[in-house]
Amino acid sequence: MRKRLTRTFLWCSVTLWGVALGAKIFDLLVLARAWGGNVPVSLMFYPYGKDWPIDPGNFFQPLSAFLLLAIVGALWSGWKTMRAYRLYLELSVGAFALIWLATPTLFWPLINAIYQVAHHRVAIADAEALAMVRRWFFYDSIRIIVIAAGFFSAVRAISIPYAESTGTSSSTT
């Protein structure tokens, strides 16, 4: 039963990490390039506020909630597996934790600052606006790398045959 539960959570993790990775790559390469391609003029395409019917957070927040359930469920149900197997489950949770820590501390303030400039609520030099957008692209690229690490750790975990821990610490499979 534990094996089946772990594998189910892992399949959900792999699927949700894959969706998150694809969506973030699309967000960075397509959407962010639209609003960040020719700063400050292109900021009129910044996808936040009442003028935009779709807020990226409305997609990523529920996805993150389901992903959290999947990765924590996989770690919980796979806790008694071999250490090497469990390490990939822990890496997946760790990647998620990094993203959740970075989002409100780095991204939300930057989103707000760019929004203020995009809606002419704050006037700054074009060079400063460009620097903020470049910082966004840099941070978002790192976030994509962390998402990829979470995805590949879940893929690696699901590709290893499930084996309960025998209680010895010298086993590595």
Tell me whether residue 23 is in a domain.
Answer: yes
pTM of the model: 0.88
Report how many domains make up the chain. 1
Tell me whether residue 173 is in a domain.
Answer: no
User: What does the pLDDT look like over 94-115, one tens digit per residue?
Assistant: 999 999 999 999 999 999 999 9
Q: What backbone phi and psi angles, to 5 degrees, belong to 47? A: -85, 50
User: What does the pLDDT look like over 46-75, one tens digit per residue?
Assistant: 877 677 777 788 899 999 999 999 999 999
Q: Name the residue with tokens 């893929």.
A: 155
Say what the pLDDT of residue 172 is. Answer: 44
Tell me whether residue 130 is in a domain.
Answer: yes
- Residue-number span of the structural domain to which 143 is assigned: 2-159
User: What does the pLDDT look like over 105-153, one tens digit per residue?
Assistant: 999 999 999 999 998 999 999 999 999 999 999 999 999 999 999 999 9
- Whether the pLDDT of residue 170 is over 50: the answer is no
